[in-house]
Amino acid sequence: MLHDRVVSRSYSLSSSKLSRCVLFLSLSYIFFVQMYASANRLQQVRKPGPTPGPNPCPSPEPKPGPSPRPAPTPTPPGARNTTFPAIFAFGDSIVDTGNNNYILTLVRANFLPYGMNFPHGVPTGRFCNGKIPSDFIAEFLGIKPVLPPYLRPGLTREDLLTGVSFASGGSGYDPLTPIEVRAIPMSDQLTYFQEYIEKVKGFAGKEKAEHIISKSLAIVIAGSDDLANTYYGTHTEEFLYDIDSYTSFMATSAASFAMQLYESGARKIGFIGVSPIGCIPIQRTARGGLHRKCADEVNVAAQLFNSKLSTSLHSMAETLKNATLVYIDIYSLFTHMIQNPEEYGFDEIDKGCCGTGLIELGPLCNQFTSLLCNNVSSYMFWDSYHPTERAYRILTKKFVEDDLSPFYDK
């Protein structure tokens, strides 16, 4: 993921050589990716922006509907799931379990201290100290302990039959977003999904493959990189769209992705909204002023997109036959955790555990230049962009319990 330029900093690093080295590498890396994005921007020819949507609405109202069924109880560890044959993940680094290891990209995490709390302490390409939401969903639903990346060589038939992640760190609904960091575009993730279906048909048969695809859970999460990096970071799209038009464009792209999943055979599709990304450490550093407050403008943009995404999916769900299409709100719970950290056992919510916690992520968070916090479990954020394994576990457990009940109806 690309970094925003650091426009203000309230902390001065120590005068040690190590700290100066971290600062120099951080600023050099930010300058490089900004220049790289600018070069790509000159090569892009975009179509006129979409018709502006409604005025921003920071607090989307839930749509009325029938009372939800009681939330399903997560499958006990070790028990075999009987509802979903498999799980598929699409989107960005929140659910990328290592696909970026196998492509030429700036956005990687296949080195320590990433993965230090993953089983056996192995860095796998997950942008976290341990497991991420795609793993926890698979675990909580009783499918398997972790979700492998589709591009990992040597996947077994069982790996494929029970699901994989197609996600790529740095991707987004805007086709320009992955281009700037050479991530896997959402369109290519769909191509890989269709390739996957043909593989399963090859060794399991057409009927079983179609059953697996239609009964399995497809989870999509993207949009953070579109807003934080492409729109507010490199400002690539800010010259072409106002934020209302841009979030409409994002929502339209997400709806198109949902339709293409449906046309590929998926029938249980969940879209997770964007979190309050204005409160992640790097946005606080870049836009939060001397006191590093949450960047309200970015949070409003996230809410605006979430509202449009929810509306689009709700409208689509009424037209798709034999399908369950669900919008999953993560913004509210994430905000509550930030505002009430003591309820969740967090002592630090505005800095990452890695390095200074202000700007480090990806290659800037490494074992040679970045010191680590003393107690990662007390931190909500692992690096300046991504939550810790413990924060992910809390968030994922909550929406598995509260938001997946519609998928049990079919």
- Pairing mode, if any, of strands 324-328 and 348-352? unpaired
- 113: preceding bond cis by omega (within 30 degrees): yes
Total Cβ atoms within 10 A of residue 300: 18
Catalytic member of 26, 92, 93, 224 = 93
Catalytic, 174? Answer: no
Q: How far apart are CA 40 and CA 63, in angstroms?
A: 40
Catalytic, 10? Answer: no
Q: Give pLDDT, residue 34.
A: 40
Q: How far apart are CA 118 and CA 141, in angstroms?
A: 19
* 310: Cβ contacts below 8 Å, ≥ 6 apart: 60, 63, 273, 327, 329
The tens place of each residue's pLDDT in the chain, 410 residues long, gives 433 333 333 333 333 443 434 333 443 444 334 434 433 433 333 333 333 333 333 333 333 344 444 444 455 444 445 589 999 999 999 999 999 999 999 899 999 999 999 999 999 999 999 999 999 999 999 999 999 999 999 999 999 999 999 999 999 999 999 999 999 999 999 999 999 999 999 999 999 999 999 999 999 999 999 999 999 998 888 889 999 999 999 999 999 999 999 999 999 999 999 999 999 999 999 999 999 999 999 999 999 999 999 999 999 999 999 999 999 999 999 999 999 999 999 999 999 999 999 999 999 999 998 999 999 999 999 999 999 999 999 999 999 999 999 998 65
Catalytic member of 244, 329, 386, 403 = 386
Nearest to 140 by CA among 390, 392, 344, 401: 401
CA-to-CA dists, residue 384 to 127, 283, 380, 388, angstroms: 11, 8, 10, 10
Catalytic member of 174, 329, 350, 383 = 383
Catalytic, 314? Answer: no
Ordered domains of the chain (ranges, CATH): 87-404 (3.40.50)
Task: Please report the DSSP string for 226-272 in residue order.
Answer: IIIIIITTS-TTTTT--HHHHHHHHHHHHHHHHHHHHHTT--EEEEE
